[in-house]
Amino acid sequence: MRILQLHSNFVVYTPVQKEIQIAEEAEKKENRVEEVVVLFTAVEEGDTVALAQKAVDDVRAFLGRQKTNRILIYPFAHLSSNLSNPGEALKIIQAMEVYAKEKGIETYRAPFGWNKQFTISIKGHPLAEQARTYAPVAAAVEAKIEGGECKKEEEPVSAALKAEDKMQSFWHVLMTDGSLVPIEEYKFKGHSNLQKFSQYEIKKARAVTQMPPHVTLMKRLEIADYEPGSDPGNIRWYPKGRMIKSLLEQYVTTRVAAYGGMEVETPIMYDFNHPSLKSYMNRFPARQYVLKSEDKELFLRFAACFGQFLMAHDAQFSYKQLPIKLYELTRYSFRREKSGEVVGLKRLRAFTMPDCHAFCTDLEQAKQEFKIRFDLCIDVLDNIGLVKDDFEIAMRFTKAFYEENKAFIAEIAAKYGKPMLAEVWNERFFYFSLKWDLNFVDNQDKAAALATDQIDVENAKRYDITFVDEKGEKQYPLILHCSPSGAIERDIYALLEKAYREQMAGKAPMLPLWLSPTQVRLIPISDKYMDKVEEIAKKIEAYCIRVDIDDSASTLQKKIREAEQEWIPYIAVVGEKEVESGNLSVRDREVKGAQQNLTAEMLVAKIAEKTAGKPFKPLPLPRLISKRPQFHG
C-alpha cells in the first residue's frame, strides 16, 4: 500500500466519469473539505485489511501531533504500477474507512473507480507532505520486532542524503551581471517560470499528487508504459519509444565525441564495501539498490562515476594530456527513489544517463572547460527541441567559492542571459564546490533536472587518481561531472510536456521532426492507388525518411484524423488527381494542417533541410498500418 499524506487547508474534488465497471455510485458534484489530512491511497497486490489498519494507526498518531482529527481517504491508483485487483482494493479502502471511524477520526472518502478533478491547498509546515509505503512482509517483520523476536535492519542511506534534509540553504537570484539578489527581494516580473521553479526548489516537495499529462501521452502514442512485472520506476519501451530513445542516445553520444569524449563501458554493479566506493556513496544524495552475491554485498550504480574513476585510477597520464574526457552512456543507472515521487518518465529508478567526466590540472583549466561544456549542454538541448524558454537554471555553491570566483560565475550568468536561481551554502558538504543544473518546469509547476555539470574537488584523492605535473611530481586532478542532456527518459518527458503545453495554447502538439516515429504518412483514396502509393513510399524512403501507408479499411476522414492523433508531421492523400499531376496534397502539422501541393522531391528536400545533422533510424514498425500490432488500448 502506498499513501501520499498531505496536511491541507482544503481540498476540492469533483467525480468526472467512471473508469471501471465496479466504480461506486457517486454524484458528479463538487465536494469541499476544510482543514483535512488527505490520504492519496493506492492498494497494491497482496495488501490486507491489517495493513490498512496499520496505516490508519500511523495517521492517527500524526493527527494527534498536529491537533487535528479529519481525514479524506482518496483512492489514487497512480502511486503504483503493482495494483491489487479493483474488487479487493475497494474492500480494503472501505475497511480503512470503517476502522478510521471506529478510532474516532472524522473520516471522508472520495468515490472509488472514478476519474476525479481536484484542487488542493497544502500547508507549509515541514511535515505537511509525507509519502508512506506499507508492505505485507514489512508489516510482519515489524510485528516481530514489537514482540521482541528480532531486530529491524536499517536500509543503507548515504550521509549526503541524510544531510540534504537538514542542510540550510540561502536562496538568491543570480543576475546576468553575477550579482546576487535575496529571493525575498526579487520581483520576478517577466520571469514567471523562474518563480515557479524557485518555489518548487525551496519547498523540495517532490511527491506527485496528480498524473502528469505526459503519462497519458506516452501511453496513447505507444511510446512507453509502466512495467507491472518490475519494480516501480522501470519502464517498458514500445517500438516507437525505443526508436525515439535510440535516436536521442545516438545524437548525444555523437556530440560528446565531437567535444572530445572517449567512450568507455563499465559494470553496473560494484562492491558495497570497496573503501573508495563506500566513501563516495556517502557524499552523493541518492538511494541505492543493494543485492547479495555469494559473500559480497553489491550495489547497482547510480551514475558512471564508479567505473570511470576506477578506470582513471589505473591509467597513466601527464599534465600535457589534460583535460582527459571519459564518456559513457549508462543503460542503466539506478536510484531507488521514494514512493510517491516515481512517476512516468520524469523520475525513474532505472534510467539512461549520458555521463562525461573531464580530468583537469587545476581550477583555472577546470573553469575554462566548464564554460565549454555549458555551451555544449545548452546547444544539445536546443537541438533536441528544448530551448531557453522551456527551462530554468540553478547554480549551487558555497559563499566562499562565490567570493573567490565572482568573475567566473558572472561569465556563466552572462552566457545564459537570463536570471538564475542560486542556492548558497555556508559550508561545503557535497563533493563539488560548484554545480549548475538545467531544469524543465512542467505543466504541474514541478521541475526536473536535465543537463548538469559540477566541479568535483574530492574524488581524485578518494580514488587515488593522479597525473604527473611539469616537475615530474604526482598531483590530484579536479574532475568535472557533466551530463549534456540529462537522463534520456527525462528529455522525452520534457518534450511530451512541452507538446501538451502547446496544445493548451492552441497549437498542434508534435514531437521534433527528426524524432517522429513516422515522418510522412501516405493515404490512398482507394485500393486501386496502392501500387502508386508503394512506389512513392519507396522513393521517399530512399532519402532516409520514415514513411508509412494507411491501407486500413477506414474512411478517408478517419484515416486523416487518426494520423493527426498520432502527431504525424506530414500527411499526403493520393488519388487520381495526385497520380495525374505528380503532386501530393500534403498536410503540414507544423502549420496546423495547412495543405500544400508538393512533388515527392520537394517534400523530401523540405524534410532533409529540417533534419540536417541529426541521426536517422528506419521506421520502427511495418510500413503498412494493417500489419501493425496495437500496444496500448
| CATH code for the domain in which residue 320 is found | 3.30.930.10
Residue 418 DSSP label: S
Kindly state whether residues 461 and 552 are assigned to the same domain.
no
* Residue 505 maps to a domain: no
* Residue 367 maps to a domain: yes
Distance between CA atoms of residues 555 and 279, nearest Å: 65
Kindly state whether residues 65 and 117 are assigned to the same domain.
yes
Boundary (domain end) residue, out of 117, 152, 187: 152
Residues paired with 17 in a beta bridge:
115
pLDDT per residue over 508-522, tens digit each? 999 999 999 999 999
Residue stretches of the chain with pLDDT short of 50: 137-154
Distances (CA, A) of 605 to 12, 186, 361, 539, 545: 53, 48, 47, 12, 11
Boundary (domain end) residue, out of 436, 462, 497: 497
Instruction: Write down the pLDDT at residue 386.
Output: 96
Q: Could you write out the DSSP letters of every residue in 93-156? A: HHHHHHHHHHTT-EEEEPPTTEEEEEEEEE--STTSEEEEE--HHHHHHHHHHHTTS-PPPPPP
Kindly state whether residues 325 and 418 are assigned to the same domain.
yes
Neighbours of 171 (CB within 10 A): 17
Boundary (domain end) residue, out of 98, 123, 152: 152
* Angle at 435 (CA atoms; ends 373, 386), nearest 5 degrees: 55
Kindly state whether residues 114 and 207 are assigned to the same domain.
no
Distance between CA atoms of residues 46 and 38, nearest Å: 23
Kindly state whether residues 93 and 50 are assigned to the same domain.
yes
Distance between CA atoms of residues 433 and 425, nearest Å: 10
* Residue 163 maps to a domain: no
* Residue 507 maps to a domain: no
Instruction: Write down the pLDDT at residue 618.
Output: 97
* Residue 162 maps to a domain: no
CATH of the domain at 612: 3.40.50.800
Domain span holding position 132: 2-152
* Residue 508 maps to a domain: no
| φ, ψ (nearest 5 deg) of residue 626 | -65, -20
Kindly state whether residues 519 and 405 are assigned to the same domain.
no
Kindly state whether residues 141 and 173 are assigned to the same domain.
no
Kindly state whether residues 230 and 106 are assigned to the same domain.
no
Query: Cβ contacts of residue 227 below 8 Å, gap of 6+?
Result: 81, 234, 235, 236
Instruction: Write down the pLDDT at residue 280.
Output: 73
pTM of the model: 0.76
Tell me how many domains the chain contains: 3
Find cell 551530463 and name the residue. 483
Q: How far apart are the first and last CA of the chain?
A: 26
* Residue 161 maps to a domain: no
Distance between CA atoms of residues 513 and 213, nearest Å: 21
Instruction: Write down the pLDDT at residue 166.
Output: 57
Kindly state whether residues 377 and 282 are assigned to the same domain.
yes
Would you say the C-alpha torsion 558, 564, 566, 569 has a positive or negative sign?
Answer: positive
* Residue 542 maps to a domain: yes
Instruction: Write down the pLDDT at residue 286.
Output: 67
Kindly state whether residues 477 and 519 are assigned to the same domain.
no
Instruction: Write down the pLDDT at residue 293.
Output: 84
Kindly state whether residues 472 and 569 are assigned to the same domain.
no
Instruction: Write down the pLDDT at residue 147.
Output: 47
Residues paired with 454 in a beta bridge:
435, 481
Instruction: Write down the pLDDT at residue 139.
Output: 44
Kindly state whether residues 547 and 589 are assigned to the same domain.
yes
CATH of the domain at 121: 3.50.80.10
